[in-house]
Structure 1
Amino acid sequence: MKTSIFKKIILGIAIIYLPVQAMAWGTNGHRISGQIADSYLNAKARAAIKAILGTESLAITSNWADFIKSDPQYNYLYNWHFINMEREYSYPEMQEFLKKDTLTDAYTKINFLVGELKKKNLAKNNKRLALRMLIHIIEDIHQPMHTGHLSDKGGNDVKLKWFDKDTNLHSIWDSQLIDFQQLSYTEYVSWINHPTVAQIKDWQKSPVSQWLLESNHLAAKIYAGVKDTDKINVYKYNFEYIGTLNDQLVKGGVRVAALLNQIFG
């Protein structure tokens, strides 16, 4: 009994001190997209998800895949969070790239997880893991640096200054731009979750290859906008990129819901 309690305490401490750059979107970003996704679920998907997650909301379950990084038995999930692209692709090039993709990465695992969740006889614990991971990975790939360069670990090795503090390009997009708005995740959702009907339809019908193309193009722009060791003008950077970041958070949520509606509806 004491050993079990001790392990829980250690796990809790590890979660609190996980490095920010290890978490795509950061805690708030994932919760924002998860809460947005919840608002676009149909009745059948909502019921199926409740049967799997119980009272755990999409906003809360969105972060499970990052929190669990503190448990070594889940180390095999590490490469599921991203897909490396060393340059900007045209859409035909992206389709060809993905067609040949046999690596363990976000794209191949999205396809795998969708297949798992469509199985009628999948054990509930496996279904829960698959659902948590699918939600998280879809949100991850809408953070552009999760389609970044292997050579710099998706921008983690692009060292920058943010309000005179050391940081990196990946971390800025994970959390620092979002945190700069000084909003709770529910306040943030109220601010940005206002896509038009046309936008929702367009985002819902687009394939995963299109999602990755958008992030790939944004990553190219983001890389081009900084030089290693730059001191970021935070207010200018926020003005230039916050609209793009917010669009990606909303798109991620809408597309999570669209895929879950397709799987469970």
Structure 2
Amino acid sequence: MNMKKRIFKLILIVTLFYVPSKSMAWGMLGHRIVGQIAESYLTDKARLQIKQILGNESMAMASNWPDFIKSDKAYSYLSPWHYVDFDKQYSYPEMQQYLQRDTATDAYTKLNFLVAELKKKNLPQDKKVMYLRLVIHIVGDIHQPMHTGHTEDKGGNDIKVTWFGQPSNLHSVWDSGLIEYQQLSYTEYVKAINFPTQLQLKEWKKVNVSKWLYDSSLEADKIYKGVKDGDKLSYRYNFDYVETLNRQLLKGGVHLAAILNQIFA
């Protein structure tokens, strides 16, 4: 193998291991599922205003812009906007207190910022487009449980596992491994899981970001307890967690619609 081929192979390997980074949640497929589900629960008023902002770009396609733009160094400051790590599992009152004091650059503080900005009537069009794309993405992010994981292991990135025999980590399995294993397009996936009960819809349509984060962190806690460094994950892991995966995607979509309906009321 000549030197050029060796260098190319090394770059490819590094890229493959780098891509499932801490700030990427759900991967392209998961974010599109959340965006597509959300579109089905928009009010007419919200749908019209979103159309005026995004034009012919669907919410499903807009959802991945914040990950795509990371290739541009001018947007590197957005990386911490994708997650909120916690140093322990909080009770809900503890988490509320923590978030009330939260001044860090993270998904919680920036989602609040974006919502407030999008409610402004005089916001420039370019800002509307960028901020709406970010809201769509970040709401999806916080429903990937490892984006509300532990600080000490970087949201599961430091927990090394194999996924069907391939080296991976816990964060990456939840970003994309589980979803891609289902072998569905995002539109097929939405058709398969978009069946919330009326009780779920009633509860999930409430806009309460701190509760969303808390619920996601509870799922993360369960996930942590079900795996250890070096585990070999495959068929059984999918069987045990696919229901959690689908519920988080569905909740993310309904929650996203709820917050957009509030913004564009």
Structures share fold, TM-score greater than 0.5: yes
2:228 matched to 1:227? yes
2:79 matched to 1:66? no
Distance in 1, matches of 2:164 and 2:255, equals 34
Moved over 4 A (4+): none
Q: Say whether the 8 Å CA contact 1:87–1:220 is kept in structure 2.
A: no
Distance in 2, matches of 1:212 and 1:48, equals 27
Cα displacement string for residues 29-56 of structure 1 (whole angstroms, at most 9, x for unaligned residues): 0000000000001111111011111000
Distance in 1, matches of 2:121 and 2:88, equals 40
Matched residue, 1:88 = 89
1:206 shift after superposition: 4.8
Cα displacement string for residues 11-67 of structure 1 (whole angstroms, at most 9, x for unaligned residues): xxxxx9771335200110000000000000111111101111100000000111101
Matched residue, 2:49 = 48
Distance in 2, matches of 1:42 and 1:99, equals 30
2:248 matched to 1:248? yes
Three-state SS of the structure 1 residue aligned to 2:152 is helix
Matched residue, 1:117 = 118
Cα displacement string for residues 91-143 of structure 1 (whole angstroms, at most 9, x for unaligned residues): 11111110110100000011100000000001000111110001100110000
Matched residue, 2:5 = none
Distance in 2, matches of 1:204 and 1:88, equals 25
- Structure 1 residue identity aligned to 2:264: F
Q: Say whether the 8 Å CA contact 1:30–1:139 is kept in structure 2.
A: yes
- Structure 1 residue identity aligned to 2:19: P
Three-state SS of the structure 2 residue aligned to 1:151 is coil
Matched residue, 1:103 = 104
Three-state SS of the structure 2 residue aligned to 1:89 is coil
Q: Say whether the 8 Å CA contact 2:33–2:190 is kept in structure 1.
A: yes
Which consecutive residues of structure 2, in runs of 5 or more, have no partner in the other structure?
Answer: 1-14
**Alpha carbons of 1:206 and 1:124: their partners in 2 closer, same or farther (altered >3 Å)?**
closer
Which consecutive residues of structure 1, in runs of 5 or more, have no partner in the other structure?
Answer: 1-15
Matched residue, 1:174 = 175
Q: Say whether the 8 Å CA contact 2:20–2:171 is kept in structure 1.
A: no
Superposed counterparts of 1:253-264, under 5 Å? 253-264=253-264
- Structure 1 residue identity aligned to 2:246: N
The sequence identity of aligned pairs, in percent, is 62
Distance in 1, matches of 2:258 and 2:213, equals 16
Three-state SS of the structure 1 residue aligned to 2:205 is helix
Q: Say whether the 8 Å CA contact 2:114–2:135 is kept in structure 1.
A: yes
Distance in 2, matches of 1:251 and 1:227, equals 27
Three-state SS of the structure 2 residue aligned to 1:20 is coil
**Alpha carbons of 1:51 and 1:206: their partners in 2 closer, same or farther (altered >3 Å)?**
closer
2:168 matched to 1:145? no
2:215 matched to 1:198? no
Distance in 1, matches of 2:245 and 2:207, equals 19
Cα displacement string for residues 197-236 of structure 1 (whole angstroms, at most 9, x for unaligned residues): 211110111511110011111111111111111111x111
Distance in 2, matches of 1:190 and 1:20, equals 26
- Structure 2 residue identity aligned to 1:237: Y
Distance in 2, matches of 1:163 and 1:40, equals 36
- Structure 2 residue identity aligned to 1:71: D
Distance in 2, matches of 1:235 and 1:206, equals 35
Aligned length: 250
Report the TM-score when normalising by structure 1. 0.92
- Structure 1 residue identity aligned to 2:237: Y
Distance in 2, matches of 1:192 and 1:182, equals 14
Cα displacement string for residues 137-160 of structure 1 (whole angstroms, at most 9, x for unaligned residues): 011000000011122111111100
1:238 shift after superposition: 0.8
1:86 shift after superposition: 1.8
Three-state SS of the structure 2 residue aligned to 1:228 is coil
CA RMSD of aligned residues (A): 1.4
Matched residue, 1:183 = 184
